[in-house]
Structure 1
Amino acid sequence: MSETVRRVDLAARGVASSFGAGLFVGLAPAASLAGPWLLVSLAPAVVLGALAVLSTSERPLDTAPVPLRRIGFALSTLGRLAAAVAVAGTFGVYATPARPALGALGLVVVVCAAVIAGVPRVVFRVAAAVVVACLAVVVAACFAIAPVTPAVATPDGGSPLGVLLAAGLLSVCFFGTDPGGGRRRVGAVLVLVGVACFAVAAAALYQLGAARLALSPAPLRDVLAAADASALEPLLVAGVAVACAFTLLGILRGLRVAGIPEVRLVAVAGAATAVGSLFVPPETALAAAAVLLLGDAAFRFVAVRHRGAGR
């Protein structure tokens, strides 16, 4: 395989695995926290996401004492499972809004089968192109028509603390940007995903405003309705389906437990995800995933510093 082809494949894998609950559902709770400063919160979100991704590159816990390895394993595994529940629930909210759990279950079954069977590299390229094209169409539709001014102005809210909390929540958008192959490629995917998230968030704020966006269970669907572009909803659902499927695929493929075969591990994780999506709303699961995964990243950074000081 040529180096150029390899770079394209790695970038496509990172892009396809990044857009999920963080973008399609997370904009609403982030807007309730940051208010009109939602776009500002994306800058620290990118930084937090980059640090979280890079925290796994040196694998500092491999040589740590057993109790520390167990703590890191618990944070990482529970964070991934919470993220999986959030992604499955997000698909259900968009694809089968009347019965979200049914859509979540269908997605879990399909993705578990794909993890076990394997996915060709070319499929990741197609998935990345589909998701980016879908988001581009949504953004263009939002800016093509002026937003309707509400009859009664509502306070947008937001605070400096809210901006930081929103940044932590939205950082989940960038946890899938590590395609492997070095920090330079991680940076390239981070930039692409960051630009796409910024464009979508700007379009949502333009059409709905922070107050209305904060109340939306499916922000991009409501954004299209506000822009008088509901005819594009099937395209949006297709993009959400592809994005959620490949984000969930990346989450499940990242689960590793010594001594447990991959088939059994995927089956158990898939069952836990399906059950979790029955009882936990995607925005709640997303918040839990952000806390756990950022905690895992912080724990790894402390382990790196401790190991460096001990040399």
Structure 2
Amino acid sequence: MTAAATTGGGLVRRLTTRDAVAIGLGSMLGAGVFAVWAPAAAAAGWWLLLGLAVAAVAAWCNATSTAALAVALPVSGGAYAFGRDRLGAGWGFLAGWAFVVGKTASCAAMALTVGSYLWPEQARAVAVGAVLLVVAVDGAGITRTARATRVLLALTLTALTVVLGASLPAAGSPDGGTTAEAPAGVLTAAGLLFFAFAGYARIATLAEEVREPARTIPRAVTAALGSAVVVYTVVGVAVLAVLGPQRLAGSTAPLADAVRAGPVPGLAWVAAAGAVTAACGALLGLVAGVTRTALAMARNHDLPAPLARVHPVRSTPVVGELVLAVAVCALVLIGDLTAVVGASSFGVLLYYAVANAAAWTLPAGARPPRVVPLLGGVLCLVLAALLPPTSVVTAAAVLTAGLLGRAVAVHRRGLRS
């Protein structure tokens, strides 16, 4: 298959393994390494790292199931397409709608992170500008998205290296803080930290644009997720050791505060710069993933048909990009960072619950050992239920509205036919 081989639906297989790893890892690092520590520390205190381990196990199960599904069905849409194929149209819609809702919230969270670090006094205005810029880059073509993500990922890793070097000398004397002895505190933190690992989904949702998906997707998912676990573990240990759980829970810029606690506080600007590049990299991957899922849903009449339009030259879902830009900008102007992180985690955990159920039904030669989708599905449901109540209620209401809307649309189509 050539680099320009089409898949028959308008998209083109252009992404290499390196491209897919960059998009997945860039999404994971941007999705939380500079922002998610405070709410997780508030939930679990010193037990935060156990919550990180639980989130990593859930992510590994989900990634394994998702990779197997993407190899068996290498088309755009991720668990939406997998759910339709293996479980039925209704389950597919639930997965796709949960993904669109959750990841639209993630887009807003990343844009707000850019605004908060770059110009706190005008955070929302800067966030809107970031959304418009990133959507324009994604609209220029998927290969440009991959190249831009690689550049942003390199800058982010450089910034993290500087931040760790500047903050670790202050480790060992943080405040005592508070701890959470109850298992629910750890699991709530795990649910919030899962937000940070969900970026590997971008590799599966872009399966229709990946070269040699049977070889590329498993390699890319394993490499991206493994790298992210290492980075998050190192950073989590560092911020806990330097700030302690109480100060960490109250910080709006944990990595910058960790640098300020070290011997060279003037390097805190590097943390701010790294946060901007990380969030922009994640936002690029999110825009690509959400619009491709919406495209797949529109092809099956689960979302309005115009969302399936692909630009004839750039091979990008142009209408979906415009609609997403409007929705994310609206969330940016009215939303709150902690609330959108929780809502994102709730939607994405439900998405992966469907993915694990679909993986369970794969033929013996194509599926992972059944304990993997079983454990992944159970963890997804438990972690989703233990997220902050406000986030659960808000996300559940939006998901319910979508399910009711689809039921009405299906009923009307039945009457017409």
Within 1, Cα distance between the matches of 2:339 and 2:120?
A: 17
> Which ranges of structure 2 fall in alignment gaps of 5 or more residues?
4-14, 70-80, 205-215, 299-304, 310-316, 365-417
Deviates more, 1:217-226 or 1:140-149: 140-149
* CA distances 1:50-97 after superposition (whole Å, capped 9, x unpaired): 333344441432324332222222111111111111111111221121
> SS state of the match for residue 178, structure 2?
coil
- The amino acid of 1:97's aligned partner reads P
Within 2, Cα distance between the matches of 1:120 and 1:27?
A: 27
Match of 2:83?
A: 61
Match of 1:298?
A: 353
Within 2, Cα distance between the matches of 1:132 and 1:53?
A: 23
Structure 1 outlier segments of 4+, above 4 Å? 146-150, 306-309
Q: 2:288 aligns with which of 235, 245, 253?
A: 253
Match of 1:160?
A: 183
> Which ranges of structure 1 fall in alignment gaps of 5 or more residues?
none
- The amino acid of 1:135's aligned partner reads L
Q: Does structure 1 residue 112 correspond to structure 2 residue 135?
A: yes
Say if 1:15 and 1:149 are closer, same or farther in 2 by CA, change over 3 A.
closer
- The amino acid of 1:18's aligned partner reads M
Percent of pairs with identical residues? 31
Question: Shift in Å at residue 120 of structure 1?
Answer: 6.0
Kept in 1: contact 2:111–2:128 (CA 8 A): yes
Q: 2:53 aligns with which of 43, 49, 64?
A: 43
Q: 1:17 aligns with which of 17, 27, 31?
A: 27
- Greater relative contact order: 1 or 2 (C-alpha under 8 angstroms, separation 6 or more)? 1
Within 1, Cα distance between the matches of 2:273 and 2:106?
A: 20
Question: Shift in Å at residue 195 of structure 1?
Answer: 1.0
Within 2, Cα distance between the matches of 1:26 and 1:104?
A: 18
State how 1:125-140 maps to structure 2 within 5 Å: 125-140=150-165
Say if 1:17 and 1:157 are closer, same or farther in 2 by CA, change over 3 A.
same
Question: Shift in Å at residue 136 of structure 1?
Answer: 1.3
Within 1, Cα distance between the matches of 2:358 and 2:148?
A: 37
Within 2, Cα distance between the matches of 1:242 and 1:149?
A: 28
Match of 1:27?
A: 37
Kept in 2: contact 1:49–1:172 (CA 8 A): no
Match of 2:233?
A: 198
Question: Shift in Å at residue 237 of structure 1?
Answer: 2.2
Say if 1:9 and 1:71 are closer, same or farther in 2 by CA, change over 3 A.
closer
Within 2, Cα distance between the matches of 1:124 and 1:81?
A: 19
- The amino acid of 1:136's aligned partner reads T
> SS state of the match for residue 252, structure 2?
coil
- The amino acid of 1:69's aligned partner reads G
- Across the two proteins, how many residue pairs are aligned to each other? 305
> SS state of the match for residue 155, structure 1?
coil
Within 2, Cα distance between the matches of 1:79 and 1:126?
A: 26
Within 2, Cα distance between the matches of 1:161 and 1:136?
A: 33
TM-score scaled by structure 2?
Answer: 0.67
Question: Shift in Å at residue 112 of structure 1?
Answer: 0.7
Kept in 1: contact 2:113–2:276 (CA 8 A): no
Deviates more, 1:45-54 or 1:177-186: 177-186
Deviates more, 1:78-87 or 1:185-194: 185-194
Question: Shift in Å at residue 111 of structure 1?
Answer: 0.3
TM-score scaled by structure 1?
Answer: 0.89
- The amino acid of 1:267's aligned partner reads L
Question: Shift in Å at residue 248 of structure 1?
Answer: 0.9
Match of 2:259?
A: 224
* CA distances 1:95-150 after superposition (whole Å, capped 9, x unpaired): 12112101211110110100101316443332222111111111111112356655
Deviates more, 1:199-208 or 1:52-61: 52-61
> SS state of the match for residue 287, structure 2?
helix
Deviates more, 1:60-69 or 1:196-205: 60-69
Q: Does structure 1 residue 288 correspond to structure 2 residue 343?
A: yes
- The amino acid of 2:109's aligned partner reads A
Q: Does structure 1 residue 184 correspond to structure 2 residue 219?
A: yes
Say if 1:6 and 1:171 are closer, same or farther in 2 by CA, change over 3 A.
same
Say if 1:215 and 1:8 are closer, same or farther in 2 by CA, change over 3 A.
same
